[in-house]
Amino acid sequence: MILGIETSCDETAAALVTLDGEIKANVVSSQADLHARYGGVVPEVASRRHLELVMPVLREALDEAGATLDEVERVAVTQGPGLVGALLVGLSTAKALAWARRLPLVPVDHLHGHVASLYLEPDPVEPPFICLLASGGHTLLLDVRAYGGFDVLGTTLDDAAGEAFDKGARLLGLGYPGGAAIDRLARGGDATAFSFPVARLDGLDFSFSGVKTSLLYAIRDLGDRLEACRSDLAASYQRAIVRALVQGALAAAEQAGRDTIAVVGGVAANSELRAALPGARFAPLALCTDNAAMIASAGRYSRPLPYPRYLDLDAYASRV
């Protein structure tokens, strides 16, 4: 089995996955409630909480799988991108475990992990396909030609889609995390009540800063009428972001000549996005947010570093 460890942001996660892609255990401890009071993730708070949780989460994953460390053949861990302090907790833990047991270690790119969530049983997706990766930190259009990697076709020039949802939720007084809160509120609203334009760019890149500003101005103009229009605002705002994502994914598939579109990342859990791309392959809901099963899955397709060559590995905040 492969032991996966993920600590790139505010989820402490550990998983055990077989080389065939069967998930034996997938444990995630979220810090969402801890960071809700701040309206977003505080990096130092997240790092300290990872230190407290990483070993209990690892033990729980082993118990859930009914396994011991003797059955682990390699360790896979998120190296980046993400919050450096948080990443270092998982990376240091993985190094220590691998070194102590003389195991190989696979450093995994977090984005490759999201894509690799599609390769797990019981319904794996086979390349080639276009992948829309939409989360709180990233919005990318990827041409996935093989299991081991992808080509970037488009990205966001400012806010990620999930970040736009979180900031929109904050403006609407919905708290953090915002994506699920907007999704729930939007179900009772009229998505045609307000017009929130999303910038159209040449090529396949996205921009979501403008739609966030449009929401801010709409809220200011409503004044005392805000409460009566809150669900309509949420529905219209969500519709604008989803429309941009869908148009981008369809354009990427046409440009690359791909028949299959897949969607991963936290925003892949959005109900309107799922309805707007009925023929797409979505990551299972449990694997949309950050988790370690996807990291272990990516570890199946990356060359492991033998003991002890991984001891000098460092985390990285960005792929650029």
Instruction: Characterise 141 by phi-psi region: left (phi > 0), alpha (psi -120 to 50), beta (else).
Output: beta
- Whether residues 142 and 252 fall in one domain: yes
- For strands 129-134 and 261-264, give the pairing: parallel
Query: CA 305 → CA 102, 212, 237, 308, 316, distances in Å?
Result: 11, 43, 45, 8, 17
User: Is 168's pLDDT higher than 70?
Assistant: yes
Residue 271 lies in a domain: no
Q: Residue 287's CB: how many other CB atoms inside 10 A?
A: 26
- Whether residues 102 and 210 fall in one domain: no
Q: Residue 88's CB: how many other CB atoms inside 10 A?
A: 17
Beta bridge partners of 299: none
Give the pLDDT band of residue 35 (cuts 50, 70, 90). confident
Residue 277 lies in a domain: no
Question: Which range (7-16, 115-124, 311-320) has the least confidence?
Answer: 311-320
Residue 317 lies in a domain: no
Q: 139 is written with which tokens?
A: 């919005």
Give the pLDDT band of residue 225 (cuts 50, 70, 90). very high
- pLDDT tens for 246-296 read 999 999 999 999 999 999 999 999 999 999 999 999 999 999 999 999 999
- Whether residues 30 and 143 fall in one domain: no
Beta bridge partners of 11: 30
* Nearest-angstrom CA–CA distance, 105 and 94: 8
Q: Residue 257's CB: how many other CB atoms inside 10 A?
A: 9
* Nearest-angstrom CA–CA distance, 132 and 281: 10
In the DSSP assignment, the letter for residue 290 is: S
Residue 267 lies in a domain: no
Q: Residue 192's CB: how many other CB atoms inside 10 A?
A: 10
* Nearest-angstrom CA–CA distance, 207 and 209: 6
- Whether residues 140 and 250 fall in one domain: yes
Q: What is the residue-wise DSSP string for 59-95?
A: HHHHHHHT--GGG--EEEEEEESS-HHHHHHHHHHHH
- pLDDT tens for 50-104 read 999 999 999 999 999 999 999 999 999 999 999 999 999 999 999 999 999 999 9
Contact assessment for residue 156 and residue 207, using Cβ atoms and an 8 Å cutoff? yes
- Single-letter amino acid code for the residue at 198: V
- Whether residues 115 and 164 fall in one domain: no
Residue 152 lies in a domain: yes
- Whether residues 229 and 173 fall in one domain: yes
- Whether residues 151 and 253 fall in one domain: yes
Tally of CA atoms within 13 A in the half-sphere of 299 that contains its CB: 32
- Whether residues 114 and 137 fall in one domain: no
Give the pLDDT band of residue 320 (cuts 50, 70, 90). low
* Nearest-angstrom CA–CA distance, 292 and 94: 12
- pLDDT tens for 106-163 read 999 999 999 999 999 999 999 999 999 999 999 999 999 999 999 999 999 999 999 9
Residue 186 lies in a domain: yes
pTM reported for the whole predicted model: 0.94
Tally of CA atoms within 13 A in the half-sphere of 114 that contains its CB: 29
- Whether residues 194 and 240 fall in one domain: yes
What's the domain range around 199? 129-259
**Which pLDDT does position 146 carry in this prediction?**
97
Q: 121 is written with which tokens?
A: 């049983």
Q: Average pLDDT of 184-212?
A: 94
Query: Residue 164: enclosing H or E segment and its boundaries?
Result: helix 161-171
Residue 268 lies in a domain: no
- Whether residues 143 and 64 fall in one domain: no
Residue 266 lies in a domain: no
For residue 144, the domain's CATH number is 3.30.420.40
Number of domains present in the structure of the chain: 2
